[in-house]
């Protein structure tokens, strides 16, 4: 979509939620989304910030746009590539 200034906007109305969440504290709890784009806290079924998980998904999209492939399948500890990044071993990630 484009806004009035013709800036590209990435949207997914299927899982849209108010930023403040149901309880009004800015935290969400719904387990939803495409597993490849889900932030770790969603996979772990923890409360999360909608803004933060959207930035995580946008980062994966940007990586794919630049590199042409996903950096890892899912943000779960059993994913070897994600585990390298999560454990601060990004230098090994590129080999």
- pLDDT, greater one: 11 or 53: 53
Q: Is residue 3 a part of any domain in this protein? A: no
Helix (H, G, I), strand (E, B) or coil at 67: helix
Q: Is residue 57 a part of any domain in this protein? A: yes
**Domain residues for 48?**
13-67
Q: Is residue 39 a part of any domain in this protein? A: yes
Q: Is residue 51 a part of any domain in this protein? A: yes
Q: Which residues are bridge partners to 29 per DSSP?
A: none
At 35-84, the pLDDT tens digits run 999 999 999 999 999 889 988 998 998 899 899 999 999 999 999 999 99
Q: Is residue 62 a part of any domain in this protein? A: yes
Q: Is residue 24 a part of any domain in this protein? A: yes
Q: Is residue 6 a part of any domain in this protein? A: no
| Distance from C-alpha of 38 to C-alpha of 9, rounded to nearest angstrom | 19
Average pLDDT rounded to a whole number, residues 83-90: 93
| pLDDT value at residue 29 | 84
What's the total number of domains in the chain? 1
Asked if 26 contacts 49 with a C-beta cutoff of 8 angstroms, the reply is: yes
pTM of the model: 0.79
């Amino acid at each position: 979509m484009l806004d009035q200034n013709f800036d590209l906007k990435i949207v997914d109305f299927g899982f849209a939620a108010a930023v403040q969440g149901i309880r009004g504290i800015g935290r969400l709890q719904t387990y939803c989304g495409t597993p490849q784009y889900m932030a770790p806290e969603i996979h772990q079924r923890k409360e999360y910030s909608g803004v933060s998980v959207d930035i995580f998904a946008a980062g994966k999209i940007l990586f794919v746009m630049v590199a042409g492939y996903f950096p890892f399948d899912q943000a779960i500890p059993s994913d070897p590539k994600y585990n390298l990044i999560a454990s601060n071993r990004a230098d090994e990630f590129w080999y």
